[in-house]
Amino acid sequence: MSTESVQFHHDADRLTHDLRHRALIQKALGGYYVKRDEQKAKYTDWQQARASAAAAKYEAVNHLDKYLVELSDKLAARGTKVFWAADGPEAADYIASVARDAGVKRIIKSKTMTGEEIHLGQALEKAGLEVVESDLGEFIVQLRGEPPYHIVFPSMHLTRGEIDETFQKKLGSPHADTPEELTMIARNVMRQKYCEADMGISGANFAVAETGHISITENEGNARLSTSLPRVLVSIVGIEKVVPKLDDLAVLLPMLATAGAGQNMTCYNTLLGGPRQPGETDGPTEFHVVLLDNRRTSLLADPEQRDALHCIRCGACLNVCPIFKNIGGHSYGTTYQGPIGSVITPHLRGLQSWKHLSFSSSLCGACHEACPVKIDLHHHLLQNRRNAIAEKPVWWEKPIFAGFAWFMCRPALYRFAAPLLRLGAPFLHAIRGKFFDPARVWTGTRDLPPAPPQSFKEYWRHRNAKR
């Protein structure tokens, strides 16, 4: 087992026994389901909307060569510097060098999962820069030294009391009871940071090739401040974020809001078109867009799973995933949690190290059903399993499945031997859950069904004999 897999088993097992965590997540998501369904009901045809959204992403992802160049040209035409980064270190080095050249000391960052993916914050801190998260949820987990718990709701695992405690400890703030008071504490800290920051860093929800715009959607207004106040602006954009036309946002933005947060539209929707233009009085004087590959092209090269690049990071698949709900976001040990994380992490970070995530699924398909861009998530988990085993079978499993196949390919043997296996049932029942019980992985927590007096095959034979 890879070290990642050992860690996963350990963390997941711990969280499954944490009933407080289970109740907390169920309650948080219970509210989300109600709001999501209310919003979905406003669509004339949600399935048709899914098909349109998927079609827009399909077009983009299958013609990245065309749309990325178009995006880059359009951005450059208004004075934006575009940097193509092959991987995380290249992107982080570039951003650090931009900061150095512009004499930047302080950076304010709005939520970017792509930035999380390449540990951008840490890299810039190492380069001697101050980096502050401005998204409230991200700000809270940053104060706690934790990674985000969820793609969309980074601090969903925390209670109001825990947030209050964190603020008191880390910010020296007075005790606060209500969400409003807590938000005001964060706001007071952040307003100061916005004014002091020399550089803003944002992610991108979409990048429009047709017009050369970076689209950002948010509820707090922090991204708008982070991208308009500092004199230097950097947007880090995964290459799969490009969409062909501005019109595509007409379907993608509301669907992202509905699937992601149960909203009609998010509160603030911003299009960044470039740095301050001649004659303009405000806005950043420098604008850099970093287009990041970081092994997305290896996913692109896999026609079976290419549609995983459709992902708009709404988190809907996490919200319905019964595994996520029981093991929580941190157990995954990945930037992207839940079904989408289990699908893409093996591609982004190595199949053998991360294959356990694809096996840790009951393949229920709730993720695919919830996905607004129709990614075939649960089938991709099956394909990852197949690819992992084809590349490197598990040494003790291989003979078991070879034996299984040998046995099941011999109907006469099955007919004779299967009832013998059933005879062992009373014995298994007597030792159930004990250390030496061979079925302990099942019987540790669950009873086995009692063995019936006759199998169906025996019933069928007796019945035919009587006739």
Partner 1 sequence: MKITLFIPCFIDQYYPGAGIGMVRILEKLGHTVDYPESQTCCGQPAFNSGYWDEARSVAETMLDAFRDAEVVVGVSGSCGAMLKVFYPELFHGKPREAEAKALAAKTHEFSSFLVNVLGVGDIGASFPAKATFHDGCHGLRELGIKREPRELLKHVRGLELVEMKEAETCCGFGGTFSVKFPEISTAMGEVKCASILETGAELVISNDSSCLMQIQGLFDRQGQKIKSMHLAEVLAHF
The site for partner 1 (CB under 8 A) is made up of: 9, 12-13, 16-17, 22, 26, 322-323, 325-327, 359-366, 368-369, 382, 385-390, 393, 397-398, 401-402, 404-405, 408-409, 411, 414-415, 418-419, 421-422, 441-442, 444-449, 451-452, 454-461
Burial class (CB in 10 A: 0-12, 13-18, 19+), 418: middle
Nearer to partner 1, 51 or 418 (CB): 418
What is the separation of C-alpha 154 from the centre of its chain, rounded to a whole number of angstroms?
11
Sign of CA dihedral 321, 325, 331, 335: positive
In angstroms, give the least distance from the CB of 105 to partner 1.
Answer: 46
CB of 50 to partner 1, least distance (A): 15
What is the distance between the alpha carbons of residues 103 and 69, in angstroms, rounded to a whole number? 30
Q: How far is the CB of 229 from partner 1 (least distance, A)?
A: 45
Least separation, in Å, of the C-beta of 37 and partner 1? 13
Cα–Cα distance for residue pair 313/336, rounded to 1 Å = 9
Q: How far is the CB of 407 from partner 1 (least distance, A)?
A: 8
How far apart, in whole angstroms, are the C-alpha atoms of residue 164 and residue 173?
8
Cα dihedral 366, 372, 374, 377 sign: negative
Q: Please say which residue, 1 or 267, places its beta carbon nearer to partner 1.
A: 1
Toward partner 1, which CB reaches closer, 269 or 383?
Answer: 383
What's the DSSP call for residue 448? P
Closer of 281 and 456 to partner 1 (Cβ)? 456
Q: What's the closest the beta carbon of residue 46 comes to partner 1, in angstroms?
A: 16
Place of tokens 């990614």: 375
Apex CA 252: angle with CA 249 and CA 257, to 5°? 120
Whole-number minimum distance, CB 448 to partner 1, in Å? 7
- For residues 264 and 42, what is the distance between their CA atoms, to the nearest angstrom? 9
DSSP for 236-290, written as a single string = EEEGGGEES-TTHHHHHHHHHHHHHHS-SS-SEEEEE--SPPTT--SS-SEEEEE
Give the residue with the Cβ less far from partner 1, 243 or 321. 321
Residue closer to partner 1 by CB (options 246, 425) is 425
Of the pair 93, 397, the CB lying nearest partner 1 is at: 397
Between CA 386 and CA 393 the distance in angstroms is 10
The minimum distance between CB 55 and partner 1, in angstroms, equals: 22
Q: How far is the CB of 337 from partner 1 (least distance, A)?
A: 14
Q: Which residues contact 333 (CB under 8 A, 6 or more apart)?
A: 4, 7, 8, 11
Nearer to partner 1, 136 or 377 (CB): 377
SS3 of 446, please?
coil
**CA distance linking residue 334 with residue 357, whole number of Å:** 10
Structure tokens that stand for 32 in this block: 């989300």
CB of 447 to partner 1, least distance (A): 4
Nearer to partner 1, 204 or 320 (CB): 320
Q: Is 232 helix (H, G, I), strand (E, B) or coil?
A: strand
Residue 175 or 427 having the CB closest to partner 1: 427
Residue 383: strand, helix, or coil: helix
Least separation in angstroms between residue 377's CB and partner 1 is 11
The C-alpha atoms of residue 66 and residue 19 are separated, in whole angstroms, by 50
Contact 321, 151 (CB under 8 A): no
Nearest to 346 by CA among 307, 308, 384: 384
Residue (178 or 454) nearer to partner 1, CB: 454
